[in-house]
């Protein structure tokens, strides 16, 4: 029992210590974005054509490095200011991966190679495709009535102050608010990190390795297991690469890639947050479409590309 506990503690601390700096950085960036960035600016610079808008939305995370929790309220504010549906949906799905914080954490965990590039490319492609599926939909068919309506009470306090020709709050006050928001995000997401790290460490320590090996042997079963795990764990995308690294010894590289791609797009907490922006049937589409596209893409990679080419760990 003592040896088992020591192994569990070592794995748990290793995952936690590696991941905490990236969680803290992501929380700080989210707080600064909330306070200092006016969403209306994006509406003026983003393309209006559907294809270009969906692709631009998929890459928008490079400028707005937010995780799957932070991106939902951002998208909600942008939709209230008239952001096109395809652009917003592509941004919603891609931003948790296509941002500098997550890319750096993935590089730290897996190095520069096929896993990092595969995660980036598949996420952009899937997000753009899902966004384009909604190109002919009307906002009132997709968005909740409270989101698909511009009212004065939905204008941000800073924008409202500007409209009244009042000076914005002092920089010190805004920085203080950003730090408070960052602290809230860090504490809120920290519990998911601890739970996910404990589960990963427990699987490595307590679950018989031959069982995991059997689950990881089949391409389809391994992918389905890790996609389900990504959905249930609901780990922040800024740190999920370190958890995925713990599965590389028992699951195929394609299965690990499915964990890295699908989890940030859709998990339990983000699915519930979707319900505050989209109608219920649209929430179902936003879960099933990324699931099916990720499953098909990673199966295709697993069966047609040598695993050694994907798994350069």
Q: Which residues face 141 on adjacent strands? A: none
pLDDT at 215: 66
Cβ–Cβ < 8 Å for 231, 223: no
pLDDT at 166: 55
pLDDT at 32: 77
Per-residue pLDDT of the chain (313 residues; tens, 9 = 90+): 777 788 888 877 877 776 777 777 767 776 776 677 665 666 677 777 878 888 888 898 887 777 776 777 777 767 766 678 888 899 999 999 998 888 998 998 888 888 999 999 999 999 999 999 988 888 778 888 766 654 334 444 444 444 444 566 778 788 888 888 778 767 766 776 777 677 767 766 776 656 656 666 678 888 998 898 888 777 778 888 888 888 887 788 898 999 999 999 998 778 887 887 788 898 999 999 999 999 999 998 876 655 444 444 3
pLDDT at 167: 63
pLDDT at 148: 62
Cβ–Cβ < 8 Å for 115, 260: yes
186 vs 6: CA distance, rounded Å: 27
121 vs 57: CA distance, rounded Å: 14
DSSP 171-207: HHHHHHHHHHHHHHHHHHHHHHHHHHHHHHHHHHHHS
Cα 150 to the center of its chain, rounded Å:
27
pLDDT at 41: 66
Question: How big is the CA angle at 170 (ends 164 and 175), to the nearest 5 degrees?
Answer: 120
Which residue carries 């590389």 as its tokens? 248
User: For residue 167, what is the DSSP state?
Assistant: P
- Find the largest Cα–Cα distance for the chain: 68
Cβ–Cβ < 8 Å for 99, 69: no
299 vs 96: CA distance, rounded Å: 22
pLDDT at 289: 95
Which residue carries 């890639």 as its tokens? 257
What would the two tokens of residue 144 be?
Answer: 């909740």
112 vs 313: CA distance, rounded Å: 9
pLDDT at 309: 45
Cβ–Cβ < 8 Å for 64, 101: no
pLDDT at 258: 94
Q: How far is CA 277 from CA 145, 243, 268, in A?
A: 9, 29, 15
Cβ–Cβ < 8 Å for 258, 240: no
Question: How big is the CA angle at 80 (ends 76 and 85), to the nearest 5 degrees?
Answer: 75
């Amino acid at each position: 029992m003592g040896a088992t506990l020591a192994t569990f503690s070592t794995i748990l601390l290793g995952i936690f210590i590696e991941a905490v700096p990236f969680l803290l950085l992501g929380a700080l960036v989210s707080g600064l974005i909330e306070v200092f960035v006016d969403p209306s600016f994006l509406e003026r610079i983003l393309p209006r054509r559907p294809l270009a808008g969906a692709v631009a939305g998929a890459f928008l995370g490079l400028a707005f490095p937010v995780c799957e929790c932070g991106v939902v309220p951002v998208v909600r504010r942008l939709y209230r200011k008239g952001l096109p549906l395809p652009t917003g949906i592509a941004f919603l799905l891609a931003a948790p991966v296509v941002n500098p914080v997550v890319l750096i954490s993935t590089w730290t965990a897996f190095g520069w190679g096929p896993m990092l590039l595969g995660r980036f490319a598949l996420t952009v492609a899937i997000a753009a495709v899902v966004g384009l599926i909604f190109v002919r939909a009307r906002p009132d068919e997709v968005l909740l009535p409270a989101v698909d309506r511009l009212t004065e009470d939905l204008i941000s306090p800073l924008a409202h102050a500007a409209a009244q020709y009042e000076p914005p709050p002092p920089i010190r006050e805004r920085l203080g608010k950003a730090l408070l928001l960052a602290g809230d995000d860090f504490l809120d997401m920290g519990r998911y990190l601890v739970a996910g790290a404990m589960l990963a460490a427990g699987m490595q320590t307590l679950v018989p390795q031959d069982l995991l090996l059997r689950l990881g042997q089949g391409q389809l079963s391994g992918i389905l297991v890790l996609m389900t795990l990504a959905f249930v764990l609901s780990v922040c995308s800024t740190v999920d690469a370190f958890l995925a690294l713990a599965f590389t010894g028992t699951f195929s590289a394609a299965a690990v890639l499915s964990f890295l791609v699908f989890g940030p797009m859709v998990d339990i907490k983000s699915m519930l947050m979707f319900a505050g922006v989209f109608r219920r049937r649209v929430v179902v589409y936003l879960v099933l479409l990324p699931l099916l596209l990720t499953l098909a893409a990673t199966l295709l990679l697993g069966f047609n590309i040598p695993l050694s080419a994907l798994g350069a760990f």
